[in-house]
Amino acid sequence: MPSGANITFHRLAWDTGHESISLNAGPDLRYHTLVSDATALHTHEFAEFFLIISGKIKHLVNSEYQELQAGTLVFIRPTDVHGFEHLAGSVCELVNVAFKLEFLRDLSAYLGNDFFLRKYTGPVTSPVFKLSLSETDELATRLIRMNTLQNTAYDIARLKIKIMIAEIFTRFFLDTGFFSINSERPEWFEQLNLEMAKRENLFGGLKRMKQLAPCTQEHLCKCFRKYLDKTPTEFINEQRIKQAAKQIVETDAKILAVAMELGFISLSRFYSMFKKFYGISPAKYRLMSRQNDIPL
């Protein structure tokens, strides 16, 4: 792993009438035609995650089955014993990212907090997350570009891959906007939180959440305390700030317009909450995100 990670693309198909074939169509692109109904169970000396881009497949990990469809993101630990099994009539395409576990330990030491690492290593089965179609396309495209960069600009790729892995682990193991398929949270609760991450619902705030929730306000508050250790209002404000940060980075919209669009009536309150969450003002956040030089 000269650049810190191996990013490879795989197409898995089954044909019981022929011999097994594994074809390398380039350094990082592989086509597999398999005769048996399953790949060999195996472990790794490294950590990895993979994203199902199209089709579906059965994943056996630590003696438990997971049926994976397009948009499923799976995190594999070095100690996980896993393999793939055929689902009738389906061809599966996936992108796989393998990297050294030491990187996550170094990141945990740098942050002075191992919470995300414990959420990654703790579950019996590998953590699994479901992405929307747009989120799947966005992540797949980013991985494709990163793969190309590995072969054209080694030094830049090494830096950007580390940043990417840190961002992905932060996004899926710390961001309450994403929930593991294996989570113990009720399905309605997960769906509610996904709906409340949408801009149009965030503008409606707590009133809109109450409309979407299939329970009383009292039960809703109890669930947020139980599963997220925060109130519904705190969750909504966090989602609003994250959406605001995204717009501030990706657009040239005036900061006042961004705040108003997300339902913040008081600009001073928006600035106060943004600084509390990110440690800097919205204007400085935009400026820093657009600087070319990344301090190390």
> pLDDT per residue over 169-221, tens digit each?
888 887 655 555 555 667 788 789 888 888 888 889 999 999 999 999 999 99
List the single range of 9-13, 58-62, 165-169 with lowest mean pLDDT: 9-13
Query: Which residues are registered as beta bridge partners of 96?
Result: 8, 50
Contact 22, 32 (CB under 8 A): yes
pLDDT tens digit string along 12-43? 877 655 444 443 333 444 444 554 667 888 88
Q: In the β-sheet with 64-69, what is the strand arrangement from edge to edge?
A: 64-69, 56-61, 82-85
Q: State in words which class domain 187-289 has.
A: mainly alpha
pLDDT at 98 over 60: yes
Q: Which residue has the higher pLDDT, 123 or 42?
A: 42
Amino acid 242: pLDDT? 84
Amino acid 285: pLDDT? 82
Q: Which residues contact 263 (CB under 8 A, 6 or more apart)?
A: 202, 203, 204, 205, 240
> pTM for the complete prediction?
0.57
Would you kindly state where each structural domain of the chain is located, as residue ranges? 5-173, 187-289
Amino acid 216: pLDDT? 92
- Between CA 192 and CA 212 the distance in angstroms is 7
Q: Which residue has the higher pLDDT, 245 or 28?
A: 245
Estimate the crossing angle of helix 232-250 against helix 199-212, to 10 degrees: 170
Amino acid 182: pLDDT? 55
Q: What is the rounded average pLDDT for all residues in the chain? A: 80
Instruction: Kindly state the average pLDDT of the residues 47-54.
Output: 93
Instruction: Kindly state the average pLDDT of the residues 129-141.
Output: 84
Amino acid 92: pLDDT? 87
CA-closest candidate to residue 158, choices 31, 1, 287: 1
Amino acid 27: pLDDT? 41
Amino acid 289: pLDDT? 67
Third-level CATH fold of 5-173:
Jelly Rolls (2.60.120)
Structure tokens at 228: 């997220």
pLDDT at 84 over 80: yes
